[in-house]
Structures are given as structure tokens and as C-alpha cells.
Amino acid sequence: MKILLTGSTGQVGYELARSLQGVGEVVAVDRQQMDLADLDQVRSVIRTVRPQMIVNPAAYTAVDKAESEPAQAFRVNAEAPALMAEEARTLGASMVHYSTDYVFDGTVAAARAEDDATGPLNVYGASKLAGEQAIAAAGIPHLIFRTSWVYGMRGKNFLLTMLRLARERDELRVVADQHGAPTWSRTIADVTAQVLAQAHAGGREWWVQNRGVYHLTAQGQTTWYDFTRAILAEAGIDCRVLPITSAEYPVPARRPEHSVLSSEKLMTRFCHLPDWQHALQLCMR
């Protein structure tokens, strides 16, 4: 099976380039080779590669910047996935896409299920939801994995930012009233590979039974404040961390207060997901 992998130098894309090697022939492209903001280039690459599967972790992820660049966010997160889905339909291909906890408004304290009502609070979340809807509307075999608070040891993410700041400062002030599940990029990639191996073995009937949206996050929940404390404890860095409210750290894009997703559907059908603390230890060690 030939797999076209986008965003191969990003956090999740880098891990997928490794994890998917056992699933099929991976044609990995980065932003230079396939910029999702250039729809003509997206179409050209797909028609040249002619994959049996498109795996798309590439996205516009600058949450605050998206508030002032809505057209760019929607082009990358909605229009490009819609085009990929159209091209996949023409080729008879399947598609795997990644979305976000930010499709929800965060007003419900309980973990959200896949079929709960969405209601994004910001442009980024709205653009990702539009991408989900476009792929579903294309009628192709597809999987959409919603994840949250993604981190890893490469790229730009919260973990690396906190490690850098803690080495530069004596004190950090971190939001303590937003709740979610930090999810290691390698967990996302490895689970994707496990699921796609099952899909490849199951054939067309597997896609009929299992296509759709799944929540793929680490188990348990925490706050940005407690996540920071866990990061620094694991790294052995002595830096004081003070809890603050979201109101004390104003940013252009509103964040959901409760971002916990229920991954029961995925775990029931496919495989177990690790606790966020255990995954963090593995990542940092």
C-alpha cells in the first residue's frame, strides 16, 4: 500500500514517518514539497504520487495567530483536507486526518464523546471542525483522530517551551483553570499505525464498519500548571511554578476550560492508550 504522508517534519508527522514504515510504502512530504496553503500544489502532489491512502497530520496550528489570519487557517485546515478527500475519492483511496479538542466549547466538565455537540470558541477550532466535516461529506473511507495538548521532544510545543523558560527564569506563572490530557506525539503515531495495520488486513469491510471520528488522547487529565510541574520534576529542574487563571494570561484566542476527550470508543475497538504521566516519563527518558 502506498501512503502519502503530509507534514513529515512536524511533531506528529515525524513520528508517523517512522511508525508507518511497517504498514506500507511511505511517501513523506514536508511543507516545502506540499504546502497546504497552495491548493494547486496539493492536487499536483496527490495526482503524481497516486496513493492508496493519504495520512494528513499537517495543519495550521498557530491558535492565536489564526484569529487575525482566518482565511489562511481555513485554507490549510479546511480547504486543503477537502481537496485531499476529493482526490482520494477519485483515486479510490482512504484518508486519515487529525483534529483537535478545540472543536468543543469546553463548558462541560465531563469527558466529551465523539458524537457530542461541537462548538468551537476560536478560529483554529472552527477551521479544524470544517475540515472534519468536509472529509466526512466526501463519502470516502476515512478516520479522523481528535487529539489534545500534543507534545514531544522536537518542534514547537508546550513541553519544550516550559523546559526552556524554566532554565532561563526562577519562576513560571502557568494557567491552572484549563483541563485536558497532554498527549505524546509518538503515542498518536504508534496508535495510528496499529489501527491502519488492522484496516489493511480487514479490507473494504473494515472501513465500512470502522470509518469515522475517534478521540485519541492519553488517559487521565491535568491542568497546564500541573503538567508544568510534572515536566520540571521529570527533568530535575528547580524552578518555582505559580498557578494563575486564564484571565491573568490574556491571549487573542479563547481556550476551552474543559478539553478532556473520552477515548473509550477507540480503546474498545482497537487498542489501549497510556496514562499521560506514564507517556511523559517515556518521552523525557
Residue entry with cell 473494504:
204
Secondary structure letter of residue 222 according to DSSP:
E
Q: Are 277 and 230 contacting, i.e. CB atoms less than 8 angstroms apart?
A: yes
CB-CB neighbours of 78 under 10 Å: 21
Out of 102, 124, 214, 225, which one is annotated catalytic? 124
Q: What share of the chain is helix, strand, coil (3-state, %, to 5)?
A: 45, 20, 35
249 is catalytic: no
d(CA 150, CA 118): 20
Q: Return left, alpha or beta for 155; rule: phi > 0 is left, psi -120 to 50 is alpha, else beta.
A: left
Nearest to 257 by CA among 117, 101, 130, 97: 101
Bridge partners of 261, per DSSP, are: 112
The residues assigned a catalytic role are: 124
